[in-house]
Structure 1
Amino acid sequence: MEKISRQLFLVPFAMLCLALFSACSSNEQVIPQNPQDENSTIVDLGNVKFDISEMPFGEDTEDKTRTAEQPLMADTVVLSKSVEAEVTLERERTPVTRGVKHGLSDGAYRLVVYQANVFKTQVGFTVAGGKIAYLEKLILNDGNYDFYCCNDKVEFKQGENKFKVEFDNAATALIGSIKNVHVSGVRQTISFPMKHVGTRIKTRLTALMPFPNEGVQAKLVSVPNGALGDMIYDIPTGVYSSSKLRTLDFPASNYTKVADVYDPSLKANIYAMESSEYRYVLLNNTLTNLMLQFTNTGQLYRKAMNSYGALRINSSTQYMLAGHSYVLRVKLKPTFRYLFQDGTVGYLRDKGNRMPVALVLNNNLGIALTDSHVGNDYVPSYSSGGVLQGNWSVTGQRDNDRLFQLTQWNDAITTTTSGAHWTWAAGGTYNHANAAHNGSKGDKREVYPAFYWADAYREEMKNKCVSEGKLFDSNLLTQKGRWFLPSVNEWMYLLKNVGFSNPNSLFAPGGVATGHPISVWYNILIVRQAFMVAGGAPLWDDTDPQGRYYWTSTEGSLTNKAYIITVRPDWNFFLSDQKKNLTGFPITYTKAFRVRAFVTFSNTAIHPHSGGSTEDGWAGDPDQNISGDDFEIDL
Structure 2
Amino acid sequence: MKKTIFFASFLGTVMLTACINNEDVAEANNKIEISGNHFIFTTEDFGAEMPTRAAVPLESVNTVDLGDGLQAEVTIGVDWSPQVRAVNPIADGHYTIYAVNSSGERVTGIDSKVSGTVTAGGFIKDPGTNLRLSPGTYTFVCYNDAVIDNGTNLIVNNGSDALVGTATENIHGEGWKVNFTMKHQGARVRYKLTSYTSASSGVAVQFTSTTSDQPISLTLNTKGVVETVNRGVLSGISTSFAATSEAVNSSYTLPYTTPLTDYNFLLPGVKGNKLKLTFTSGRVYGENLAGKSLTLAFADELARNGSYVVHVKLKKILYLYDDGTVGTFAERGTRRPIGVVVQDKLVGQDGVAMALTSRLSGKWSTRSGVQDNAIMGNDFVTVMNDMNGYKYTWDPSTSKDGVTVKAESSIYPAFYAAGHYHPNVPVTGKNVGKWFLPSMGQWRLAVETLYQMKVLSQLTDWGYPKADQDKRNRIDTIFKQAGGFSPMGHDYWSSNEYDLRNVGDMCFRKSKVQFDYYGYGKRINWGVLPFVHF
- Please tell me the TM-score bracket, short chain as reference: 0.5 to 0.7
CA apart distance, 1:595: 6.3
1:516-563 Cα shifts (integer Å, max 9, x gaps): x643789xxxx99x949759999xxxxxxxxxxxxxxxxxxxxxxxxx
Count of residue pairs the alignment pairs up:
370
1:600-623 Cα shifts (integer Å, max 9, x gaps): 75699xxx9x9xxx99579xxx9x
Distance of aligned partners of 1:191 and 1:256 in 2 relative to their CA distance in 1, 3 Å threshold: farther
Q: What's the TM-score, normalizing by structure 1?
A: 0.46
CA distance in 2, matches of 1:209, 1:51: 52
Distance of aligned partners of 1:617 and 1:116 in 2 relative to their CA distance in 1, 3 Å threshold: same
Matching residue of 1:197: 185
Matching residue of 1:472: none
Distance of aligned partners of 1:617 and 1:98 in 2 relative to their CA distance in 1, 3 Å threshold: closer
Partner AA of 1:125 in structure 2: S
Asked if 1:323 is matched to 2:305, the reply is yes
Matching residue of 2:117: 127
Maintained 8 Å contact 2:206/2:278: yes
1:270-326 Cα shifts (integer Å, max 9, x gaps): 4322354322333332322321223446343x7653464x1111234x222333332
Partner AA of 1:289 in structure 2: K
Distance of aligned partners of 1:531 and 1:208 in 2 relative to their CA distance in 1, 3 Å threshold: farther
Asked if 1:211 is matched to 2:199, the reply is yes
Which aligned pairs between 1:68-467 and structure 2 lie closer than 5 A?
Answer: 70-80=57-67, 82-97=69-84, 101-103=88-90, 105-120=92-107, 122-127=112-117, 130-134=122-126, 136-143=130-137, 145-158=138-151, 160=152, 162-167=153-158, 170-178=159-167, 181=169, 187-212=175-200, 214-223=201-210, 225=212, 227-235=214-222, 238-243=225-230, 245-251=232-238, 253-257=240-244, 270-296=255-281, 298-300=283-285, 304-306=288-290, 308=292, 310-316=293-299, 318-334=300-316, 374-376=373-375, 378=392, 379=394, 381=396, 387-390=402-405, 392-393=407-408, 441=410, 444=411, 448=412, 451=413
Provide the aligned C-alpha RMSD in A: 5.4
CA apart distance, 1:102: 2.3
Distance of aligned partners of 1:163 and 1:375 in 2 relative to their CA distance in 1, 3 Å threshold: same
CA apart distance, 1:244: 5.7
CA apart distance, 1:126: 1.4
Distance of aligned partners of 1:269 and 1:218 in 2 relative to their CA distance in 1, 3 Å threshold: same
The DSSP-based 3-state class of the residue aligned with 1:191 is: strand
Partner AA of 1:305 in structure 2: L
The DSSP-based 3-state class of the residue aligned with 1:375 is: coil
CA distance in 1, matches of 2:223, 2:171: 20
CA apart distance, 1:209: 3.1
CA distance in 2, matches of 1:383, 1:174: 67
CA distance in 2, matches of 1:250, 1:27: 49
Distance of aligned partners of 1:172 and 1:231 in 2 relative to their CA distance in 1, 3 Å threshold: same
Maintained 8 Å contact 1:360/1:366: no
CA apart distance, 1:62: 10
The DSSP-based 3-state class of the residue aligned with 1:257 is: coil
Partner AA of 1:119 in structure 2: R
CA apart distance, 1:225: 4.5
CA distance in 1, matches of 2:188, 2:80: 13
Matching residue of 1:4: none
CA apart distance, 1:487: 5.8
CA apart distance, 1:177: 1.4
Maintained 8 Å contact 2:31/2:135: no
Which structure 1 segments of 5+ residues have no match?
Answer: 1-23, 33-42, 261-266, 337-357, 395-440, 455-483, 493-502, 508-516, 539-593, 627-635
Q: What's the TM-score, normalizing by structure 2?
A: 0.53
The DSSP-based 3-state class of the residue aligned with 2:273 is: helix
Maintained 8 Å contact 1:222/1:249: no
1:353-406 Cα shifts (integer Å, max 9, x gaps): xxxxx9987799899xxxx97123834559966635535336xxxxxxxxxxxx
The DSSP-based 3-state class of the residue aligned with 1:205 is: strand
Which aligned pairs between 1:416-565 and structure 2 lie closer than 5 A?
Answer: 441=410, 444=411, 448=412, 451=413, 485=418, 488-489=421-422, 492=423, 504=425, 506=426, 518-519=429-430, 531=442, 534=445
Partner AA of 1:107 in structure 2: H
Partner AA of 2:275 in structure 1: L
Which aligned pairs between 1:26-37 and structure 2 lie closer than 5 A?
Answer: 26=29
Partner AA of 1:136 in structure 2: N
The DSSP-based 3-state class of the residue aligned with 1:288 is: helix
Maintained 8 Å contact 1:284/1:319: yes
Which structure 2 segments of 5+ residues have no match?
Answer: 1-26, 319-351, 362-370, 376-390, 450-493, 497-503, 530-534
Partner AA of 1:285 in structure 2: V
Distance of aligned partners of 1:259 and 1:221 in 2 relative to their CA distance in 1, 3 Å threshold: farther
1:577-628 Cα shifts (integer Å, max 9, x gaps): xxxxxxxxxxxxxxxxx96998675699xxx9x9xxx99579xxx9xxx9xx
CA apart distance, 1:327: 0.5
Distance of aligned partners of 1:239 and 1:251 in 2 relative to their CA distance in 1, 3 Å threshold: closer
Maintained 8 Å contact 2:113/2:131: yes
Identity within the alignment, %: 17
CA distance in 1, matches of 2:278, 2:116: 41
CA apart distance, 1:51: 0.8
Maintained 8 Å contact 1:205/1:330: yes
Distance of aligned partners of 1:223 and 1:125 in 2 relative to their CA distance in 1, 3 Å threshold: same
Matching residue of 1:60: 48
The DSSP-based 3-state class of the residue aligned with 2:408 is: coil
Distance of aligned partners of 1:128 and 1:387 in 2 relative to their CA distance in 1, 3 Å threshold: closer
Maintained 8 Å contact 2:41/2:181: yes
Which aligned pairs between 1:33-48 and structure 2 lie closer than 5 A?
Answer: 43-44=36-37
CA distance in 2, matches of 1:190, 1:486: 80
Partner AA of 2:373 in structure 1: V
CA apart distance, 1:246: 4.3
CA distance in 2, matches of 1:230, 1:533: 48
Distance of aligned partners of 1:391 and 1:77 in 2 relative to their CA distance in 1, 3 Å threshold: closer
CA distance in 1, matches of 2:34, 2:173: 22
Partner AA of 1:221 in structure 2: T
